[in-house]
Chain A
């Protein structure tokens, strides 16, 4: 038996023996992907609407009814004045207010232009502008309905009607967009944490000395340490992809085989990242914290999982190239949603492969064979 094989076997036994950790490592990523897959939604729902209607009449009641009939708005209170609007917003008890103008039905009938003011809590700009657009659309729908009821009304100017097509995700389903990102995030952190821990623990416990004086070369130690976790990581891939398919019904339009291969590559990248972190840090504690804090937030924000990379400032966009998760998200969205193959994804795959190689070389290099 070659030394490497023996070493790998020993590492596998180590992991298999610690049942508790093994179960955590297998179930945690799955649980997280399922939980966050349900929770992360960008569509705006349940907008808490205040109605300010000083003198209710037939028209204001009809417009109110229009809002209540949508599944977006929920009228929380009808107020007589605008005095306490800011208070409602500050307490976080309402998101939007619909203020009816004076003599609403009367001005409406005369064609003088009935006044409606839509006040939106725009603290969150994204949700705020969406709510604004929704509210305006409801009012305009009401206006259109009134006009349609009176034949002979002249057409208002011209209208260019946009016909929108959302290619690859026609309903902009949040789950389809977030699942690839969640997989990237969870796999990165879990894999990096695992390999960082396994190496730095040997360092801290002093068993690394034993390995260093053995005939094993540094790269063999790293391979032996990482290989079992590669298997574990692949188990994670299978479980989270299974959940994506069975629970969330995310489409798998491209080749599943290619997707699995890319996942494997991505796990190697993440493991290599963990090894590098472990090689560079002294204690388990710093290694783990480095892996967690250095990877969790940057992968979430800089990978394009939530915020579009095209909206980032120009100086920051090249920085995102350094985040492995970004490339994996491009690849997995390409395969799952667009159904394209390597002919469109070879560049991204190449970047990941080169990145992995560099990380591994850097890790082996900074792996100190001497103890101080």
Chain B
């Protein structure tokens, strides 16, 4: 035990001495958490709208007013020529054009239906998709309102309050958005981003650690001491494990204070899962550093790995949307399982029984990786 204590003391001293490293371990993740979490949202507040109103009727003006009053759009330009509108779209001055064709109102009164054209700049596809659904819901609300105004002879037969009309089949759809009724992106993204930040920091630093001793030559000095392999790995692992857990706690606090993320489940469960998860994540970092010969190799390996962590853990895009083979790759990433646990416990209030499967996967992962790392590390030099 004394040996391990001495080793741990050395590692902690080494980390504490390197100010630049300490900044990267503590300050960088927090700053990134604040900035990146603020950026991670699909909610668009005021998109510029270009209006081409060829009808110039009460109904068409009402529609434009509605779009502006929703707070989702603001009219940034208007003309009767589609060419000018196209130019604005091409220049990225506006992301969307609303064209109301001639005889819009007349068609509505006579036939009950009329088209409008919405042209999006799908170069930014995510924004285009979001704006399309905003515009769609504004249009259907306005349709319902216009119906009562323009065609009073026809009773509205939709909506839960409508009187029963014999012979007209009607389905009332009610929708509930559970766990995140206000569709707040922070609740979803902050826990995920925090996990990735902590992981990137811990595995990268961990991976560089042993290789550096290899390159500098101090590893040989350690190898001739009576330190056992397990002790050595433990001493290399524990400091970063502690730092990563500290990062996670501060990150959760920041998430709670700045972004109001919910804590619906037990924090104890979150930290228990984190403790297991970090052993797996750090184990992978250590394994890289025992495999790699130079810091450069270690760096590229951990770069490749972290990219998979970042883009294939369901952080940004749903895993179910990936091709099946890619879903299997995603299963291999421990980050994926821990993000699932974090989101389930924090947002959905899941208990131990609900997250047993991902927890077991993480535990198995950690045990395997650590065994490998200890085996791989050889005290003799080639």
Contacts and interface: CB of A to CB of B under 8 A. Distances in A.
Interface of A: 20-21, 24-25, 28, 32, 35-36, 38-48, 86-87, 89-92, 95, 108-130, 132-133, 135-136, 139-140, 142-143, 146-147, 150, 153-170, 172-174, 176-177, 186, 189-190, 193, 197, 201, 281-282, 284-286, 288-290, 292-294, 296-298, 300-302, 304, 306-308, 310-313, 316, 319-320, 330, 333-334, 337-338, 340, 344
Contacts of B165: 111
B254 to A, nearest CB: 16
Nearest to A189: B303
B347 interface: yes
The residue among B187, B204, B318, B340 with the most chain A CB atoms within 10 A of its own CB is B318
B173 A311 contact: no
The residue among A117, A164, A193 with the most chain B CB atoms within 10 A of its own CB is A164
Contacts of B38: 312-313, 316
A124 B90 contact: no
For the complex of A and B, 4 pairs with smallest distance between CB atoms: A157-B147, A122-B177, A308-B127, A166-B122
A161 B113 contact: yes
Nearest to A98: B173
A129 B176 CA distance: 10
B212 A168 contact: no
A38 B323 contact: yes
A67 to B, nearest CB: 13
Nearest to B353: A91
B117 A109 contact: no
Interface residues of B, number: 131
Nearest to B175: A118
A308 B124 contact: yes
A142 B171 contact: yes
A32 B318 contact: no
The residue among B42, B154, B200 with the most chain A CB atoms within 10 A of its own CB is B42
26 contacts: A39-B317, A43-B321, A44-B320, A90-B354, A108-B171, A112-B170, A114-B169, A125-B188, A130-B133, A139-B171, A150-B167, A157-B157, A158-B112, A160-B116, A160-B142, A162-B118, A167-B123, A170-B122, A288-B295, A289-B205, A292-B302, A301-B193, A306-B126, A311-B44, A311-B130, A337-B122
Given A113-B162, A158-B146, A119 B178 contact: yes
B125 A122 contact: no
Interface stretch (B1-9, B267-275, B307-315, B371-379): B307-315
A116 B171 contact: yes
B179 interface: yes
Given A177-B125, A301-B193, A311-B42, 13 more contacts: A40-B322, A44-B320, A89-B179, A125-B184, A161-B115, A161-B116, A162-B115, A189-B303, A288-B299, A297-B36, A298-B36, A311-B127, A344-B90
B39 A156 contact: no
A301 B36 contact: yes
B17 interface: no
A168 B108 contact: no
A118 B125 contact: no
Nearest to A290: B24
Given A36-B307, A294-B28, A118 B39 contact: no
B348 A162 contact: no
Nearest to B42: A126
A170 B128 CA distance: 11
B35 interface: yes
Given A43-B321, A153-B167, A307-B41, A167 B122 contact: yes
B299 A156 contact: no
A290 B108 CA distance: 61
Nearest to B132: A164
A116 B172 contact: yes
A298 B41 CA distance: 14
The residue among B116, B126, B176 with the most chain A CB atoms within 10 A of its own CB is B126
Given A119-B178, A288-B295, A310-B95, A41 B321 contact: yes
B317 to A, nearest CB: 5
A115 B174 contact: yes
Contacts of B125: 42, 166, 169, 172-174, 176-177
B45 interface: yes
Contacts of A133: 133, 136
B124 to A, nearest CB: 6
Contacts, number: 394
B49 interface: no
Given A290-B24, A311-B45, A319-B35, A139 B142 contact: no
Contact of A286 (B24, B118, B184): B24
Given A40-B316, A167-B120, A289-B204, A158 B151 contact: yes
B265 to A, nearest CB: 9
Given A162-B118, A165-B120, A311-B44, A128 B183 contact: yes
A282 to B, nearest CB: 7
A44 B321 contact: yes
Contact of A338 (B123, B180, B184): B123
Contact of B300 (A47, A117, A193): A193
A122 B112 contact: no
Contacts of B364: none
Given A110-B164, A158-B108, A125 B340 contact: no
Contacts of B89: 167
A162 B116 contact: yes
Contacts of A344: 90-91
Contact of A158 (B32, B35, B143, B173): B143
The residue among A118, A126, A172, A189 with the most chain B CB atoms within 10 A of its own CB is A126
A114 B299 contact: no
A139 B348 CA distance: 27
B223 interface: no
A46 B164 contact: no
A129 B43 CA distance: 11
Contacts of B175: 117-120, 132, 135-136
B126 A307 contact: yes
B116 A113 contact: no
Contacts of A337: 122-123
Contacts of A127: 318
A193 B303 contact: yes
A114 B169 CA distance: 8
Interface string B336-377: 000010011001111100110100000000000000000000
A86 B112 contact: no
B39 A41 contact: no
A128 B180 contact: yes
